[in-house]
Structure 1
Amino acid sequence: MGDSMCPRCGRFCTSEPTDMFDVTVTPGTRHYTLLNTNEPPDDSDIAFIHSTISKSSARIASIDNQITKLRETVKQLEDERVSLVSFRTRNQQILSPFRRIPSEVLGEIFSWTLPSMGDALSVDTFNITRSPWLLTHVSSRWRAVSLSIPSLWSRIIIDYSEDIIEDEEDEDILSGPTNYPLNLAKTLVQRAQKLKIHFYGCLGTESSRQIQMLEFLLQHSSRWEELSLGITLTLLPLVAAFRGQFSSLQRLWIQWEDGLSALEPIVPSIDCFQSASSLLDFGFQHYIPLPVPIQQLTRYHAEGFWEEQMGVLKLALNLREVRIDIAPEEIPLPFSDEIVDLPQLRRLYVTYAGALYNLKASSLEGLGLDVAQHTRLDILPVESFIARSACPLRRLSLTGYPNALSTRELLQRFPFITELVLAIDEPDARHQIDCFMSLIISPGPGRSMIAPQLQCMVFACEDDSDIDYELCLTMLQSRCREAQCSLKTVALFTERTGPNSATFEGLQALRRDGLDLLLVKGAAARQEVKYWYYATSWN
């Protein structure tokens, strides 16, 4: 039997008999009385009631049968709809513009999916659902494109120090492996051309795993383009044996793991990088007897004693960027009238301003200084350095605890500074930045504004630090209203808390009025701010 729409009631009905069962009972009848009272039925009533129940049951059964058929029909329609929606979607995908994206553009998009170095180093366990591995499981085309781009597979991060965790009693415990399995490291090497290796050994982790992995990677050392190496005495002979096989290496960072810098007398010289003919960027943590082709370097980042730093700088005449962390136990530096001339240097950062007494940089454009807590920056070495260098300095970066009064004095004394960067990583340092912003609020029409030449201001808050964003907004609004103000660009980097909604809207209003405003929050902020004070961006 078929189904049809009832022309009388408009309902979906079957062609089976569907006589309506009348459930109305006329008042005043015997049936009505029995339904509406507790009066017991007579013998003559019982046969009638049984007949009524029987007819009701038959009608209920008929209705149940119709409902079952209707449900089956609805299920069929629902299944058909799901199939049709899927079919329609698949046809719509044929017309998707994404299909027409050239492989070169798709590859560029893929490159932006790679995790930052900070994110990659913060991951506790290897995860194959992250990029670039995930890209090979979406579609055959995605897989083909991702496999055709060697740069997606060039970075290998192996951090055995992450195998050590601390329990509640502060005792070191070895956890399970957290790095690439060897077979996947082999896959990366196979898919890549140049390699960017980040390998951090650890004395407290099983040495056989580390040796096996490093031995494999060293077999491809001629393809290394970048190397960030945390080395132990156990691993040192492996690296030293590959002398002369780092011809492609452009960037190198070396650090001793497990506090080995204190054992310098027993640490042999690592001379395997001396013939790295492509090396341009070199840095180390603590002094390491590590000969490299210094004359060709364009970037240098070192942590250690000033005497060793000076020895390197004397030979590195092609340096464009330098970051020097002077050993705290050496401060203040002993007096020396020796001057090291760095004619090509564009950007310089030192953790102790006194080092500037021994430097000259006639091409310097950016100067970064670290300011210790509860101290005012010593301006005399800065003034001496600038006068000696006669450089086109325009950017000043102050990190740590930038004193508000010293910062104001520097800007007033050196009006050619047009870019100012203030970066903090401790909550206590907030007071000085807030104080500085209060100092440079425009006093109003007819009164001189402090540092009207500033074209760019950057405020960076790393870790748990922050600033008064409402005060920052007030300061920016007051300066932007003044005709003498040169401000064009403002950047706010914060890892923890950013401005509230009202302050954010006020900042957005300044952006709409023409201010080039950059707001970065979270893990990306740390990577962004490193650019401004010349820290290593890939370690």
Structure 2
Amino acid sequence: MSVLPCVACGASARQAEVDLISAVGARQSLLLNSNVPPEASDLASVQTTITETDAQLANLDAQIARRPASLRDLEERRTMLWNYRTRTHAILSPLRRVPPELLGHIFLCTLPGAVEALKRGRIDMADSPWLLTQISSHWRAVALSIPSLWSNISIDYMESFHNASTYSLPLVETQIQRSRELRIHFYGCEEMDATPQTAMLQLLSHHSLRWRDLSLGITSAMAPFLPSLRDRLPALKTLWIHWNIPQSHPAVTPLDCFQTASSLVNVGIHNSELYVPILFPAHALTRYELNAPWDFHLGILNNAPSLVEARIIIYSDQEPWPVLAQPILLPHLRRLYLSHPEFADSLVLPALEELAGEVPNLDMAALLRALVERSSCTLRRLASIRTVSAQAIIELLRRFPSITELAISMDSMNHYQAVHSLIAALTSLSGDPSLAPGLNQILFGCQYGTDIDYEVYLDMLKSRWNAENCDLKLAALLIDSGKAPDQATLDGLAALRRDGLYLSVLTGSAAGDEMNLWSYATDW
């Protein structure tokens, strides 16, 4: 047999192998070069081809074993046949028969999260959904038929600035054309040239009627553009605003462009330096978080009867406190973070189940206790954020035995002794059976370089885990930047985990992100 070049790859091949590959009919050739699923009538011929290829492979393996001098030629021929067999066998792959609806669901699961996408600082064509259009014509057709696959637009010019990358207007425009609803994360950068940022924002605003979720980091260059959005946000349901403008910037008038966004149900606003009132409708809200003066919060609470969750941060001290004729009734509110317990007497919350805030002393604990008692609700979760008084927490645990989850975070070593005293009080149920007998989740977090006595913490978990009258199921230890537990503590925690305790130990930014959730904060 003469040696001929393979028409596919240029490798050496014997006439027999070439004949085998060339003998494929038009139908099988179509199947080899596409993702078209085979019909029942195709299966016999495909299987025959695989069998004949296996025979040729076996023959070549025998020749390679007998004729080492011709090893290179034989190996090239074998590689050619093996590649051909692999492609032929792929015709029978079950993946070709996956219904487009199921394939689309799988595609949606491949989308990067918003935080991950923002860190790119650019649109990455190697990410989903762009990559899905480059695999095959079938996958491309499926990807282009699913508008929700293209809905998430994540742009962070701060990351782009640091990574020396950029965002492509044509690519974003293409993505918009392929989508229906739009979920937008757009964060500006004060240090970067404003021209490309405003151009991108203008492109997005042309499609504001389709905005469903909007997370916006506002810069001074963007602020004058925002009023044009008024009356153009009918579908907007979720709004997150991060106001990045420094205090040195000239005074900014209240922003009212979102006041006509009648579909809003979830609003979060963070003013890091310069307080600017941002107006929005409250009648349909089920959740909001905001740092603002108390009277601004009152305006929201008085007009938001459907609230389920609220994170209320008082922007600045305000004395004297406003006196209400009667407390505000919020019949559906289940989760509340209140930065200043002094305002607890302004609320009646009959559905309240989870309460978070700063509990620095017994007086603050008394205000929170009065809120729960006045509301006749069943409190199941208590979170003390940043400031910790062991005496105050113990008083609340004793007063409300219905509490099943306790979360404690501290951000100053001034609270070290208080946390130590609280851990000691929780160490054994035998001395005080009335202290949180139903507590099944205990979460401790250390922020900004703080830490706790890990040996005492481990002893507390062991004591409660082994107590007959305790129902501990879950524990968490989160340290964002402080001293990590020693090996003995880690070994003890691992032993509890093996024994059945669900235990989470996190460090670094992941720990900080998780602690934010304890106070119902979000980072859209």
Structure 2: which amino acid aligns with 1:418? T
In the other structure, the counterpart of 1:118 is 115
In the other structure, the counterpart of 2:216 is 229
Are positions 1:190 and 2:177 aligned together? yes
Deviation of 1:400 after TM superposition, in Å, equals 1.8
1:215 corresponds to which of 202, 205, 211: 202
Deviates more, 1:73-82 or 1:524-533: 524-533
Contact 1:161–1:202 under 8 Å retained in 2? yes
Q: Matches of residues 446-465 of structure 1 in structure 2 within 5 Å?
A: 448=433, 450-461=435-446
2:313 corresponds to which of 311, 325, 339: 325
Distance 1:128 1:288 in 2: 38
Are positions 1:410 and 2:396 aligned together? yes
Distance 2:433 2:199 in 1: 67
Distance 2:137 2:508 in 1: 34
What are the superposed Cα offsets for residues 254-309 of structure 1, whole Å, 9 maximum, x if unpaired? Answer: 2332225975xx42333332222211112222443333221121111111211211
TM (norm. structure 1) is 0.73
Structure 1: which amino acid aligns with 2:311? R
Contact 1:333–1:354 under 8 Å retained in 2? no
Q: The residue matched to 1:295 in structure 2 has which SS?
A: coil
In the other structure, the counterpart of 1:388 is 374
Q: The residue matched to 2:283 in structure 1 has which SS?
A: helix
What are the superposed Cα offsets for residues 403-444 of structure 1, whole Å, 9 maximum, x if unpaired? Answer: 434322321222221111223566776665455333311265
Q: The residue matched to 1:398 in structure 2 has which SS?
A: strand
Distance 1:336 1:381 in 2: 15
In the other structure, the counterpart of 1:293 is 281
Structure 2: which amino acid aligns with 1:190? Q
Deviates more, 1:382-391 or 1:510-519: 510-519
In the other structure, the counterpart of 2:187 is 200
In the other structure, the counterpart of 1:136 is 133
Are positions 1:316 and 2:304 aligned together? yes
Distance 1:120 1:428 in 2: 38
Are positions 1:150 and 2:137 aligned together? no
Distance 1:246 1:275 in 2: 7
Are positions 1:356 and 2:344 aligned together? yes
Q: The residue matched to 1:379 in structure 2 has which SS?
A: helix
Q: Evaluate the alpha carbon distance shift between residue 430 and residue 163 of structure 1 in structure 2; reply closer, same or farther with a 3 A threshold.
A: farther
Deviation of 1:241 after TM superposition, in Å, equals 1.9
In the other structure, the counterpart of 1:536 is 522
Deviation of 1:367 after TM superposition, in Å, equals 0.7
Contact 1:333–1:355 under 8 Å retained in 2? no
Contact 2:114–2:185 under 8 Å retained in 1? no
Contiguous gaps of at least 5 residues in structure 1: 1-68, 166-174
Distance 2:446 2:319 in 1: 28
Deviation of 1:536 after TM superposition, in Å, equals 1.8
What are the superposed Cα offsets for residues 222-245 of structure 1, whole Å, 9 maximum, x if unpaired? Answer: 100111223345433432123211
Distance 2:141 2:173 in 1: 19
Distance 1:377 1:105 in 2: 57
Structure 2: which amino acid aligns with 1:199? F
Q: Evaluate the alpha carbon distance shift between residue 428 and residue 515 of structure 1 in structure 2; reply closer, same or farther with a 3 A threshold.
A: same
Contact 1:252–1:282 under 8 Å retained in 2? yes
What are the superposed Cα offsets for residues 80-125 of structure 1, whole Å, 9 maximum, x if unpaired? Answer: 4444554454456555555555544444444343333333344445
Distance 2:142 2:318 in 1: 54
Q: The residue matched to 1:378 in structure 2 has which SS?
A: helix
Equivalenced residues, count: 454
Structure 2: which amino acid aligns with 1:240? P
Contiguous gaps of at least 5 residues in structure 2: 1-65
What are the superposed Cα offsets for residues 148-185 of structure 1, whole Å, 9 maximum, x if unpaired? Answer: 333332222223344666xxxxxxxxx84x45221121
1:489 corresponds to which of 474, 489, 497: 474
1:419 corresponds to which of 383, 405, 408: 405
Q: Evaluate the alpha carbon distance shift between residue 480 and residue 316 of structure 1 in structure 2; reply closer, same or farther with a 3 A threshold.
A: same
Structure 1: which amino acid aligns with 2:256? D
Distance 1:181 1:227 in 2: 20
Contact 2:407–2:444 under 8 Å retained in 1? yes
1:367 corresponds to which of 338, 355, 359: 355
Structure 1: which amino acid aligns with 2:302? K
Contact 2:119–2:159 under 8 Å retained in 1? no
Q: Evaluate the alpha carbon distance shift between residue 193 and residue 473 of structure 1 in structure 2; reply closer, same or farther with a 3 A threshold.
A: farther
Deviates more, 1:294-303 or 1:216-225: 294-303
Contact 1:121–1:157 under 8 Å retained in 2? yes
Distance 1:144 1:343 in 2: 48
Q: Evaluate the alpha carbon distance shift between residue 232 and residue 510 of structure 1 in structure 2; reply closer, same or farther with a 3 A threshold.
A: closer
Structure 2: which amino acid aligns with 1:283? G
Determine what percentage of the aligned residue pairs are the same residue: 41
Contact 2:265–2:287 under 8 Å retained in 1? yes
Contact 2:253–2:276 under 8 Å retained in 1? no
Q: Evaluate the alpha carbon distance shift between residue 103 and residue 529 of structure 1 in structure 2; reply closer, same or farther with a 3 A threshold.
A: farther
Structure 1: which amino acid aligns with 2:381? R
Distance 1:495 1:110 in 2: 34
Structure 1: which amino acid aligns with 2:284? Q
Q: Matches of residues 225-264 of structure 1 in structure 2 within 5 Å?
A: 225-259=212-246, 263=250
Structure 1: which amino acid aligns with 2:354? G
Q: Evaluate the alpha carbon distance shift between residue 292 and residue 258 of structure 1 in structure 2; reply closer, same or farther with a 3 A threshold.
A: closer
In the other structure, the counterpart of 2:15 is none
Deviation of 1:355 after TM superposition, in Å, equals 2.2
Contact 1:155–1:196 under 8 Å retained in 2? yes
Distance 1:535 1:257 in 2: 18
In the other structure, the counterpart of 2:332 is 344
Are positions 1:306 and 2:294 aligned together? yes
What are the superposed Cα offsets for residues 163-215 of structure 1, whole Å, 9 maximum, x if unpaired? Answer: 666xxxxxxxxx84x45221121122122211112223344432221221111
Structure 1: which amino acid aligns with 2:390? A
Q: The residue matched to 1:296 in structure 2 has which SS?
A: coil
Distance 2:320 2:498 in 1: 49
Q: Could you say which structure has the larger radius of gyration?
A: 1
